[in-house]
Amino acid sequence: MVETQIIGRNISDKNVLEAMRSVPRHLFVSKKYRSGAYADHPLPIEQNQTISQPYIVAIMTELIQIDSSSKVLEIGTGSGYQAAVLGEISDSVYSIEIIPELADRAAELLDSLNYNTVHVKAGDGYKGWPEIAPFDAIVVTAAAPEIPQPLVDQLKEDGRMVIPVGEGYQELLLIIKKNDEIIKKSIIPVRFVPMTGEILK
């Protein structure tokens, strides 16, 4: 998976490659889909949600340029796989999932695999995690119609956020906070499940 799908598509950050090699992706996928766990596409998980394609997890992780000291927020825990990849690199990862059953399942799995520095909570990620903010990096893994302002507010100066934005057609945006302004860069077209909750009101 790493050689052909990740290095083969020009992901070169050593921490990201190491993390992608280390996390047992098959354990984050239900038994029914396990034989395809390392294939080059997303897979269904419970509650009509998805675990992202390995390449998308890798590029999102590379774009936020984290190291062990980075405080990272993920919105959309899903299976917990992206959180585990982040947890291989950073010593403080916070992840929010709006569907309580998924949050509980991911927290349990991450715990059983000793990802002790990954903290999962059930809730609406639109509001971020103000008690823990500010963050060096934020990864949003559900598509938002617009960039949630509370997440921008919770990003540190020079902080980086990756987020799929758009309805129907979505693009992956890299957002960098500089002097309280944001710089937006469009990376690639993507297809994520939609963000739900307050953003739709």
Ligand X SMILES: C[S@@+](CC[C@H](N)C(=O)[O-])C[C@H]1O[C@@H](n2cnc3c(N)ncnc32)[C@H](O)[C@@H]1O
Closest C-alpha among 39, 68, 73 to residue 55: 39
Which residue ranges make up the site for ligand X (CB under 6 A)? 49-52, 75-76, 78-79, 81-82, 96-99, 102, 124-126, 141-142, 192-193, 195-197
Report the residue number, 52 or 92, with the smaller CB distance to ligand X. 52
Q: Is 52 a catalytic residue?
A: yes
Range list of β-strands (E), the chain:
43-44, 50-51, 71-75, 92-97, 118-122, 135-140, 155-165, 170-178, 181-190
Closest approach, Cβ 143 to ligand X, in A, equals 9
Closest approach, Cβ 179 to ligand X, in A, equals 28
Q: Which of 12, 22, 35, 52 is catalytic?
A: 52
Instruction: Give Rg (Cα) of the chain.
Output: 15
Report the residue number, 64 or 180, with the smaller CB distance to ligand X. 64
Q: What are φ and ψ of residue 79, in 5° steps?
A: -75, -20
Closest approach, Cβ 95 to ligand X, in A, equals 8
Closest approach, Cβ 145 to ligand X, in A, equals 12
Which residue type sits at 157?
E
Report the residue number, 143 or 175, with the smaller CB distance to ligand X. 143
Structure tokens given for 66:
């984290």
**Cα distance between residue 78 and residue 99, in whole Å:** 8
Report the residue number, 35 or 47, with the smaller CB distance to ligand X. 47
Catalytic residue numbers read 52
